[in-house]
Amino acid sequence: MGTNDKKIKEIEEELKKTQYNKATEHHIGILKAKLARLQLEAETSRTGGGTGFSIPKSGDATVALVGFPNVGKSSLLNSLTGANSEVGSFAFTTLKAIPGTMEYNGALIQVIDLPGIIENASAGAGRGREVISMARNSDLILIVTDQNVSGIEKIEAELYRAGIVLNRSRKNISLKKTISGGIKVHKPADVSVDHGMMFSILKEFKIVNADVYLRDSISDSDLIEYLRQNTVYLPAVIAINKSDLPHSNELDRSVSEKFRFVRVSASTGSGIEDLKSLIFTSLNLIRVYMREKSGVVDMERPLILSQGSTVRDVARKINRAFISSFRYAIISGPNRRFSEMRVGLDYLLKDFDIVTIISRS
Ligand SMILES: Nc1nc2c(ncn2[C@@H]2O[C@H](COP(=O)(O)OP(=O)(O)OP(=O)(O)O)[C@@H](O)[C@H]2O)c(=O)[nH]1
Ligand SMILES: [Mg+2]
């Protein structure tokens, strides 16, 4: 264990022991900042990547299966996609990333089976670092547990240590370092932040002169996640596998409030359709149908886009040349109030929209 790893452990222990209250909150903020800075240093000093872990992204979105060994991740991949990942009744059957493709609602969703993670995965235990880097590059994390539903917080903590934040969104923070003048905070009146805390955290990251712009109220964690730089915010859901076996445990309330989950059985197939549906909705994809020149709409093969996509994204996806010759688009669809609308490239699309692009000939 390097000196950094030792310090990281010490701070984690101290954080666990310290009760959160008004008197300790400042101290806790500083500890968290120290921890994040040490983790960042440890991160950059490591050389990463093993073999078998460079699966190129394919399809409309990518889902990573993350969980402890032997909970049935490979079995689930096989049920969801028809892939043939090896299944074994012992831990660490899967040693590399195995991709499969799940077709759902016209979308092709890449699902990646990964080796089981163990505690300290983020520090490199097992194939932890490779697993985490695959997870980081996915669009959705599917946490898999067995019927005993244990250890979800541990998995979440391992991912968090590696800068992967689940089911929470990025706050609007930006910061420009300056040469002098101290820390200046620029924010609307209704945005709140604890200035003392903020200065201490910034100091921990060796920032003493800067303009900080805030559009949202932020907590110590929000600021630390921003300063860590390697933070990604991803949606995550839980599959509780082996539901065919007797079980007595339920998810902790704090977990079930934060994550949507389904009970499934890769063995019997029960719940698999619900899981597919949960994956699809959690990816926040929309389906857009194109009307051809002939007037025919291809209802079989929608374009799959992420929520927040515009007409420009559609044009790009079909043919880049569409953008330079674009005149306008006509939108209709079941989620529209008017039967047809003429719109420009920046127009925001909804699920089930039908799009006709009119270009200069
Ligand atoms: N009863 C029951 N057993 C299951 C189910 N899914 C998987 N198993 C069994 O659980 C064991 C582990 O399954 P795997 O799919 O290899 O688990 P894994 O999570 O990929 O394991 P690692 O690759 O080692 O991390 C095997 O013996 C499976 O047959 C299920 O839904 N019900
Ligand atoms: Mg496996």
Confidence (pLDDT) at 5: 80
Whether the CB of 78 sits within 6 Å of ligand 1:
no
Residue pair 43/89 in contact by the 8 Å Cβ criterion: no
Q: What is the pLDDT along the chain (361 residues), one digit of tens a residue?
A: 567 788 888 998 898 888 888 888 888 889 999 988 888 777 666 655 445 577 888 899 999 999 999 999 999 999 999 999 999 988 888 888 999 999 999 899 999 999 998 877 777 777 788 888 899 999 999 999 999 998 899 999 999 988 999 999 999 999 999 999 999 999 998 998 888 899 999 999 999 999 999 999 999 999 999 998 889 999 999 999 999 999 888 899 999 999 999 999 999 999 999 999 999 999 999 999 999 878 889 888 899 999 999 999 999 888 877 788 899 999 998 888 888 899 999 999 999 999 999 988 7
Q: How far is CA 269 from the centre of its chain?
A: 26
State the Cα torsion 318-303-299-361 to the nearest 10°. Answer: -20
Ion ligand 2: residues, CB < 5 A? 73-74, 93-94
Confidence (pLDDT) at 62: 96
Q: Report the alpha-carbon distance of residue 9 to residue 282 in Å, rounded.
A: 34
Whether the CB of 75 sits within 6 Å of ligand 1:
yes
Whether the CB of 287 sits within 6 Å of ligand 1:
no
Q: Report the alpha-carbon distance of residue 201 to residue 195 in Å, rounded.
A: 10
Q: Report the alpha-carbon distance of residue 138 to residue 285 in Å, rounded.
A: 14
Confidence (pLDDT) at 63: 97
Confidence (pLDDT) at 122: 77
Confidence (pLDDT) at 160: 92
Whether the CB of 73 sits within 6 Å of ligand 1:
yes
Confidence (pLDDT) at 2: 67
Q: Nearest ligand, CA of residue 93? A: 1
How close is the Cα of 70 to the center of ligand 1, in Å?
5
How close is the Cα of 112 to the center of ligand 2, in Å?
11
Whether the CB of 69 sits within 6 Å of ligand 1:
yes
Q: pTM value? A: 0.87
Confidence (pLDDT) at 49: 46
Whether the CB of 145 sits within 6 Å of ligand 1:
no
b/e map 124-157, b = 16+ CB within 10 Å: eebbbbbbbbbbbebbbbbbbbbbebebbeebbe
Q: The tokens 């559609």 sit on which residue? A: 314
Atom nearest to 265 CA in ligand 1: 31
Whether the CB of 245 sits within 6 Å of ligand 1:
yes
Confidence (pLDDT) at 1: 54
Q: Which domains does the chain have, with CATH numbers?
A: 61-168+232-282 (3.40.50.300), 285-359 (3.10.20.30)
From 80, 87, 118, 247, the mutation candidate for ligand 1 (largest count of ligand atoms within 8 A of CB) is 87
Confidence (pLDDT) at 44: 66
Whether the CB of 343 sits within 6 Å of ligand 1:
no
Confidence (pLDDT) at 320: 75
